[in-house]
Amino acid sequence: MRVLFYCQCPFSLAHGGLQIQIEQTRNALEKVGVEVDYLRWYDGAQKGDILHFFGRLAPELATLAQGKGMKVVMAELLTEQGSRRPGILRLQRYLFRIWRSILGYRGTDIFRWESYRLADACVALTAHEAWLMTYQFDAPPEKVHVVPNGVEDVFLQSKSVTRGNWLVCTTTVTERKRILELAEAAVHAKTPLWVIGRAYADSDPYAARFVELAKRHPDLIRFDGPIRDRILLAEAYRQARGFVLLSAMESLSLSALEAAACQCPLLLSDLPWAKTVFRDSVSYCPVTPDISRTASALRKFYDAAPNLPPPAKPLTWIDIANQLKTLYEGVLKTSR
């Protein structure tokens, strides 16, 4: 079995969780005996049994791959759709059906909706996103599979230490992650916050505002950039009083899973992905522009964190690789 990975977002232009997901998935698949290579657009002789696309594949590419005898597995992160309110989702579903009834699938190629019907399998990170694929985009239910992200052994095998006074947030410094709003709430609530990460670009004005706020409040906001050493990052989770991620939208946060693997209490945005994955084992904060309300939730979590039970440990990347291997084997046995 030879699987070709394909992603249209270059790692060098947009670092983050997707890059980690793809790299760790490939490494784990190779350890369980699956040959994986990255699709080389310039290599006309490259062969594969399965094209595993991370994102929403253009329908014509799915058709071309299948015409070459390959099965197509599509794994899209429904980050924005998965964070929308039920009323917005119903409206989007209604409009989707109107457009399709008027234009047909081929007439809506710009949205790539037909890819959900053409793919041999669709992979969702959470049960909520799996539901969205069928509810929103009419993916055949039998083709939709839930395969979450895994966590590296360095986090799962990390040793317990005495926790300190800092809350920690590991993420990309960007508006979607609401890092500036979180820092403002931390200053308001007087809760020490350690942000680990970096912006997509040094010139980003949102990130610049956050950095300026951190410089004004060094006693409450710690920002040293990213921690690339995974052992040191695991230690940071272990030493933290709690982990906080208050994104406006999210798919399945790798950093939240890493913190959970280190038995760190979690405070997450009150969004479907978090409720689906962690249920009642973590604390939640509403997504709101009201800084005082966010600060209140942050302070409550800070005070309660030492006595909160840790969330359940997530799966390893080897666990995930075995799930995908089973999926691949099933897809190869299924006729179109």
Q: How much is the pLDDT for 202?
A: 81
Q: Which residues of 89-106 are buried (b: 16+ CB within 10 A; e: fewer)?
A: beebeeebeeebeeeebe
Q: What is the pLDDT of residues 156-181, one digit of tens each?
A: 999 999 999 999 999 999 999 999 99
Q: What angle do CA 198, 203, 204 make, to 5 degrees?
A: 65
**Rounded mean pLDDT of 65-86?**
92
**Rounded mean pLDDT of 202-221?**
95
For residue 278 the two structure tokens come to 């962690």
Q: Which domains does the chain have, with CATH numbers?
A: 2-150+317-333 (3.40.50.2000), 153-307 (3.40.50.2000)
For residue 78 the two structure tokens come to 């429904």
**Rounded mean pLDDT of 279-286?**
96
Burial of 192 (0-12, 13-18, 19+ CB in 10 A): middle
What predicted TM-score, i.e. pTM, was given to this entire model?
A: 0.91
Q: How much is the pLDDT for 263?
A: 97
Q: How much is the pLDDT for 112?
A: 80
Tell me the average pLDDT of the chain: 93
- Around 78, how many Cα atoms within 13 Å sit in the side-chain half-sphere? 28
pLDDT-derived band at 100 (thresholds 50, 70, 90) equals: confident
Q: What is the pLDDT of residues 173-211, one digit of tens each?
A: 999 999 999 999 999 999 999 999 999 888 899 999 999
Nearest-10 Cα torsion for 310, 316, 317, 322: -140
Q: CA-CA distance, 254 to 20, in Å (whole number)?
A: 8
* Whole-number percent of the chain with pLDDT over 70: 96
What's the sign of the alpha-carbon dihedral 161, 167, 169, 173? negative
* Alpha helices (runs of H) in the chain, residue ranges in sequence order: 17-31, 59-67, 86-103, 115-118, 127-135, 153-156, 179-189, 205-216, 230-239, 254-261, 272-278, 291-304, 317-333
What's the sign of the alpha-carbon dihedral 96, 98, 101, 103? negative
Q: Using alpha carbons, select from 16, 28, 19 the residue that is nearest to residue 324.
A: 28
Max mean pLDDT range (13-22, 91-100, 186-195):
186-195
Q: Is the pLDDT of residue 103 over 80?
A: no
From 9-18, 110-119, 200-209, 301-310, the region with the lowest mean pLDDT: 9-18
What's the sign of the alpha-carbon dihedral 200, 205, 206, 209? positive
